[in-house]
């Protein structure tokens, strides 16, 4: 491996912008790729060069291996960063990059392949003496055998796809009668989503915490962990708020979970940034869930409490450099929280809310970080994951971090499309959240009202639009032609959805 000079970023949105920023700081040139829907996207503007790779659907663009390799060749890129999602955990893509003698900024294709198969990952973790979520380590094929396995585990159980991810191919089963259908449905979904129909059973824990450990390894076999992220605040088994540290860990438990995560990474000769996910249940006992072989959406909270730039470190390690620290050099300081801001409408079941962002104002202030893939005027296409931006704060303790996040959310304005800003503030201020009493059913159990309070925000929005029209900073408002009257625009975009 040699020093990386030019990185092709095989992604879009906030993570592409994040990677491009790291490249700039390190004097590395960056190449953006984009679909026809993303010609004006922020990641395209931020990169040194950009290559159009295909039509809007991701299968014809961001998932198109040949087009990505051709873009790397034509621009002379020597490395590819996959970000998260898209091809980040596709071992075939990583293998192709290796075969092309380009540097894949991530682990070996072999490590991705092993961990991408949840059954194989479970086997590897078990062999490394790491406790697993109780359940099967072979695919369930025979219904009679599966029923016996479920009885032995005790209901509820969860049917999971071996090739699964993104919450797809999972079914919770509460009674023996429901098992056969659940297995069939999960298997069908797994076949169509991952071209792999294999499913298996796990014990389903009631209200566990999702606590994951960030690991990092270099090519020389040095492996460290960078402590935990608490990711229990989830909707439909997808994370929406993450923090570090977790209120559930003692130093002793943290050390044990960290060691377990390092063991899993060592078992696949891991390289680069990875995350070992665990379920944590009262006892406390922790169980290996899966390993994600990429940078995570929620990596910034780890950066905030450790002071380590994980993306820059990915680039260094991929260039063959050793880790610049040992485990003993690392420590967690203060508290960090991240809120994911999606283009979605909390008031209508969190349906995607694509469209043009007429105006966006990012929050500012000490220890406030806004990782965004969009700006005023950006169009949010319907084709991709609807993440717009992530708001991350740091403070010396959790109480202050919550207050800072609340203030930062208050300052955040996104007009033209729906986003869960008000909803996030309600979650943060909920007494159970404030108490740190979290589990994966938190949002379901507390049933936080997703409708907007409305008027105050609207008044603020109108004022902002009015100011933009009256000649605010050139880049801060929608174009004049889009604004017959700020109230009219609001009526169209904001009041339209209110009853
Ligand atoms: P995916 O790879 O599809 O994201 P995971 O295995 O990482 O699936 O699980 C996603 C989420 O589903 C977890 O964070 C947790 O909320 C829930 N979950 C998964 N397995 C179990 C289980 N055995 N018991 C309880 N909850 C689970």
Residue 185's CATH number: 3.30.1490.20
Specify the number of domains making up the chain: 4
- Helix, strand, coil percentages in the chain from 3-state DSSP, rounded to 5: 40, 25, 35
Does position 269 have pLDDT exceeding 70, yes or no? yes
Q: What is the mean pLDDT of the chain?
A: 92
What does pTM read for this prediction? 0.92
Q: Is residue 482 included in any domain, yes or no?
A: yes
Does position 479 have pLDDT exceeding 50, yes or no? no
User: 383 and 468: one domain?
Assistant: no
In ligand 1, the atom with minimum distance to the C-alpha of 170 is: 3
User: 228 and 190: one domain?
Assistant: no
208 lines ligand 1 (CB under 6 A): yes
Measured in degrees and rounded to the nearest 5, phi and psi for residue 334 equal 70, -155
The two three-digit tokens of residue 400, written as one number: 């202050």
Q: With bands split at pLDDT 50, 70 and 90, how would you rate the model's confidence at 451?
A: confident
Determine whether 96 is an active site residue: no
Task: Identify the weakest region by mean pLDDT among 321-330, 447-456, 458-467.
Answer: 458-467
Please state, in angstroms and as integers, the Cα–Cα distance from residue 392 to each residue in 283, 291, 498, following that order.
Answer: 31, 24, 29
Q: Is residue 451 included in any domain, yes or no?
A: no
- What is the model's pLDDT at position 488? 47
Q: Is residue 472 included in any domain, yes or no?
A: yes
Match 């090739």 to its residue by tokens: 163
Q: Is residue 128 included in any domain, yes or no?
A: no
Q: Is residue 255 included in any domain, yes or no?
A: yes
Give SS3 for 124.
Answer: helix
Does position 491 have pLDDT exceeding 60, yes or no? no
Q: Is residue 69 included in any domain, yes or no?
A: yes
Residue span of the structural domain in which 139 resides: 134-203
* Residue from 113, 122, 294, 404 carrying the catalytic annotation: 294
- What is the model's pLDDT at position 141? 87
Q: Give yes or no for a contact between 11 and 30, defined as CB atoms under 8 angstroms apart.
A: no
Q: Is residue 473 included in any domain, yes or no?
A: yes
Straight-line distance from the first to the last Cα atom of the chain, in angstroms, rounded to the nearest whole number = 60
Does position 473 have pLDDT exceeding 90, yes or no? no
202 lines ligand 1 (CB under 6 A): yes
User: Going by C-beta distance under 8 Å and a sequence separation of 6 or more, which residues neighbour residue 204?
Assistant: 155, 156, 157, 158, 172, 173
Does position 464 have pLDDT exceeding 80, yes or no? no
168-182: pLDDT as tens digits: 889 999 999 999 999
Does position 128 have pLDDT exceeding 50, yes or no? yes
Question: Ligand 1 pocket test: which of 289, 296, 444 has the largest number of ligand atoms within 8 Å of its C-beta?
Answer: 289
Does position 305 have pLDDT exceeding 50, yes or no? yes
Q: Give yes or no for a contact between 7 and 315, defined as CB atoms under 8 angstroms apart.
A: yes
The two three-digit tokens of residue 163, written as one number: 């090739």
Q: What angle do CA 146, 152, 157 make, to 5 degrees?
A: 65
**CA 199 to CA 15: how far, in whole Å?**
31
Does position 293 have pLDDT exceeding 70, yes or no? yes
Nearest alpha-carbon partner for 9 in 355, 376, 378, 314: 314
Q: Give yes or no for a contact between 159 and 186, defined as CB atoms under 8 angstroms apart.
A: yes
Does position 438 have pLDDT exceeding 90, yes or no? yes
- Ligand 1 centroid to residue 39 C-alpha, Å: 36
User: 175 and 309: one domain?
Assistant: no
Q: Say which DSSP state 291 is in.
A: E
User: 283 and 422: one domain?
Assistant: yes
Crossing angle for the helix pair 421-429 and 398-411, nearest 10 degrees?
160
Task: Read off the pLDDT of each residue in 230-234 and give the average, rounded to a whole number.
Answer: 98
Give SS3 for 98.
Answer: helix
**CA 353 to CA 428: how far, in whole Å?**
23
User: 280 and 157: one domain?
Assistant: no
Measured in degrees and rounded to the nearest 5, phi and psi for residue 191 equal -65, -45
- Ligand 1 centroid to residue 62 C-alpha, Å: 26
- What is the model's pLDDT at position 458? 63
43-71: pLDDT as tens digits: 999 999 999 999 999 999 999 999 999 99
**CA 365 to CA 102: how far, in whole Å?**
40
User: 338 and 469: one domain?
Assistant: no
Q: Give yes or no for a contact between 261 and 289, defined as CB atoms under 8 angstroms apart.
A: no
- Ligand 1 centroid to residue 303 C-alpha, Å: 24
User: 230 and 367: one domain?
Assistant: yes
315-369: pLDDT as tens digits: 999 999 999 999 999 999 999 999 999 999 999 999 999 999 999 999 999 999 9
Q: With bands split at pLDDT 50, 70 and 90, how would you rate the model's confidence at 447?
A: confident
- What is the model's pLDDT at position 456? 54
- What is the model's pLDDT at position 353? 96
């Amino acid at each position: 491996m040699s020093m990386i000079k030019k990185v092709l970023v095989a992604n879009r949105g906030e993570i592409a912008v994040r990677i491009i920023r790291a490249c700039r700081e390190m004097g590395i040139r960056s190449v953006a790729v984009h679909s026809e829907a993303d010609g004006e996207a922020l990641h395209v503007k931020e990169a040194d060069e950009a290559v159009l790779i295909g039509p809007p659907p991701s299968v014809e663009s961001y998932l198109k291996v040949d087009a990505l390799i051709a873009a790397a060749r034509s621009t002379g890129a020597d490395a590819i960063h996959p970000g998260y999602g898209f091809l980040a955990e596709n071992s075939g893509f990583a293998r192709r990059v290796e075969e092309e003698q380009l540097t894949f900024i991530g682990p070996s294709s072999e490590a991705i392949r092993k961990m991408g198969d949840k059954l194989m990952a479970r086997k590897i973790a078990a062999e490394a003496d790491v406790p697993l979520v109780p359940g099967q380590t072979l695919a369930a094929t025979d219904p009679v055998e599966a029923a016996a396995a479920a009885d032995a585990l005790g209901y509820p159980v969860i049917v999971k796809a071996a090739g699964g991810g993104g919450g797809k191919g999972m079914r919770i089963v509460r009674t023996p009668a429901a098992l056969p259908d659940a297995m069939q449905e999960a298997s069908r979904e797994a076949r169509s989503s991952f071209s792999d129909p294999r499913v298996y059973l796990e014990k389903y824990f009631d209200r566990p915490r999702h606590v994951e450990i960030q690991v990092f390894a270099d090519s020389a076999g040095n492996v460290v962990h960078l402590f935990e992220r608490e990711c229990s605040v989830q909707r439909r088994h997808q994370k929406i708020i993450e923090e570090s540290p977790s209120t559930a860990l003692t130093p002793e438990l943290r050390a044990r979970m960290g060691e377990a995560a390092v063991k899993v990474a060592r078992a696949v000769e891991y390289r680069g940034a990875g995350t070992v996910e665990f379920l944590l249940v009262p006892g406390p006992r922790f169980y290996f869930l899966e390993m994600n072989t990429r940078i995570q959406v929620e990596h910034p909270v780890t950066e905030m409490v450790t002071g380590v730039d994980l993306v820059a470190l990915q680039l260094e390690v991929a260039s063959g450099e050793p880790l610049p620290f040992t485990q003993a050099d690392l420590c967690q300081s203060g508290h960090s929280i991240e809120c994911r801001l999606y283009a979605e409408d909390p008031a209508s079941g969190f349906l995607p809310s694509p469209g043009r962002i007429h105006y966006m104002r990012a929050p500012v202030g000490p220890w406030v970080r806004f990782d965004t893939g969009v700006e005023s005027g950006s169009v949010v296409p319907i084709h991709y994951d609807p993440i717009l931006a992530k708001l991350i704060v740091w403070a010396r303790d959790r109480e202050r971090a919550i207050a800072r996040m609340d203030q930062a959310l208050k300052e955040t304005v996104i007009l033209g499309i729906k986003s869960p800003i008000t909803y996030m503030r309600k979650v943060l201020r909920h007494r159970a959240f404030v108490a740190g009493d979290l589990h994966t059913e938190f949002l379901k159990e507390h049933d936080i009202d997703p409708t907007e309070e409305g008027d105050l925000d609207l008044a603020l929005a109108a004022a902002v639009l009015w100011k933009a029209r009256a000649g605010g900073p050139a880049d801060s408002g929608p174009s004049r032609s889009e604004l017959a009257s700020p109230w009219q625009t609001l009526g169209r975009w904001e009041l339209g959805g209110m009853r």
